[in-house]
């Protein structure tokens, strides 16, 4: 149980520091043009990385399982311009249905 | 009044996100309760407030890892907040302590909503969108801890598919920007390629380097 509380305290501290670092170092300062071009592309790069690791990674292993089915259904919902909440719900239903039949 | 009104679009979007955050909070509570008991998961959600890191650290502890390894895993999953914080900093003003405090409102959904590419960062949009998500995350955890066993297996309910679907919806809104598709494909490829070789979390952090194509395409 001590390990749990040490983990909570340690993770709270590192999270706080990581989130504060950028705003402390750069806040309110003008950045060169090139920096904005890079910063603007962080979102698509990071979001795609999160999508593929949350869907296909199992620790260090790559797998295709029910999560991929959920993502496929979500992609269809995105293409149909469904609201974010609908996208999320159909993904859960898609993954659950895939698990139920497999 | 005008100052309050400037937060309204963010709050409105945040209420939409809050439902997904709540459901994720429930699944965290369900997964953490057998390992940590009832109080610790709720405290963790209240003081850490970072879903992926909490899931990651909990998974390490559940697998028998020690606190140091769990903190390291959670911190690596949070490392993406470093480049995100750099982007957010362009929209934050005021004294250092205030900027650092506002930086705590950086969560994936709010950040993705507020980032404006080369046009900077919408501070009010991010803060407004995070405000409903914090209580939703903590309340979801409480419900998961207390009633988790009644809800059944989170995987059978497909809850683990919520995160990627959520990020996909956010990504779709980003792709209109020049070179965004290239950055997305490159970021995804980097993450997938590195996953077998590095601890979880690091591939996502290193995938942020895909954004460097913004430099090279300018010439």
Q: What is the ipTM of this complex?
A: 0.82
From CA B51, how far away is CA B71, in angstroms rounded? 14
From CA B160, how far away is CA B73, in angstroms rounded? 19
Phi-psi region of B162 (alpha: psi -120 to 50; beta: other; left: phi over 0): alpha
Question: Which band of pLDDT confidence, cut at 50, 70 and 90, is reported for residue B69?
Answer: confident
Which residues, 6 or more positions from B80, have their beta carbon under 8 angstroms from its beta carbon? A46, A50, B204, B205, B208
Min Cα separation A74/chain B (Å): 6
How much of chain B, in percent, has pLDDT values that exceed 90?
37
- Which chain A positions have a beta carbon within 8 Å of B88's beta carbon? 22-23
- Which chain B positions have a beta carbon within 8 Å of A20's beta carbon? 85, 100-101, 103-104
- Tell me phi and psi for residue A60, to 5 degrees: -95, 0
At B144 the pLDDT is 92
The tokens describing A52, both together, are: 């593929």
Are the Cβ atoms of A90 and B162 closer than 8 angstroms? no
Residue B37 has pLDDT above 90, yes or no: yes
Beta strands of B156-216 (E only): which ranges? none
- Which chain B positions have a beta carbon within 8 Å of A56's beta carbon? 192, 195
Question: Which band of pLDDT confidence, cut at 50, 70 and 90, is reported for residue B77?
Answer: confident
**Spans of chain A below 70 pLDDT:** 27-31
At B1 the pLDDT is 47
Which residues 13-52 of chain A have a CB within 8 Å of chain B?
A: 14-16, 18-29, 31, 33-34, 36-52
Question: Which band of pLDDT confidence, cut at 50, 70 and 90, is reported for residue B217?
Answer: low
| Residue bearing tokens 């949009």 | B125
Q: What is the pLDDT of residues B191-203, one digit of tens each?
A: 999 999 988 777 8
What's A1's DSSP letter?
-
Min Cα separation B116/chain A (Å): 7
From CA B27, how far away is CA B67, in angstroms rounded? 22
């Amino acid at each position: 149980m001590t390990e749990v509380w040490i983990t909570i305290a340690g993770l709270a501290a590192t999270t706080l520091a990581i989130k504060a670092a950028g705003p402390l170092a750069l806040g309110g300062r003008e950045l060169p043009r090139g920096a904005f071009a890079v910063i603007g592309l962080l979102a698509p790069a990071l979001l795609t990385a999160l999508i593929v690791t949350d869907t296909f990674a199992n620790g260090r292993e790559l797998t295709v399982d029910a999560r991929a089915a959920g993502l496929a259904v979500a992609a269809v919902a995105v293409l149909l311009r469904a609201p974010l909440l609908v996208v999320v719900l159909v993904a859960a239903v898609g993954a659950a249905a895939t698990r139920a039949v497999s | 009044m005008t100052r309050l009104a400037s937060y309204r679009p963010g709050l409105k979007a945040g209420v939409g996100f809050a439902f997904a955050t709540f459901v994720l909070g429930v699944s965290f509570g369900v997964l953490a309760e057998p390992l940590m008991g009832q109080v610790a998961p709720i405290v963790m959600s209240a003081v850490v407030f970072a879903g992926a890191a909490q899931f990651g650290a909990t998974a390490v502890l559940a697998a028998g890892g020690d606190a140091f390894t769990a903190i390291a895993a959670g911190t690596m999953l949070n490392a993406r907040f470093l480049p995100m914080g750099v982007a957010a900093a362009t929209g934050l003003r005021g004294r250092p302590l205030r900027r650092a405090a506002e930086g705590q409102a950086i969560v994936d959904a709010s950040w993705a909503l507020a980032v404006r590419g080369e046009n900077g960062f919408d501070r009010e949009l991010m803060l407004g969108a995070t405000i409903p998500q914090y209580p939703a995350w903590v309340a979801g955890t409480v419900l998961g801890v207390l009633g988790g066993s009644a809800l059944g297996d989170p995987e059978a309910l497909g809850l683990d598919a919520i995160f990627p679907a959520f990020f996909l919806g956010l990504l779709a809104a980003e792709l209109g920007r020049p070179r965004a598709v290239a950055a997305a494909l490159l970021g995804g490829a980097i993450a997938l390629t590195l996953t077998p070789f590095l601890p979880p979390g690091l591939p996502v952090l290193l995938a942020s380097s895909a954004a460097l194509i913004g430099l090279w395409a300018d010439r």
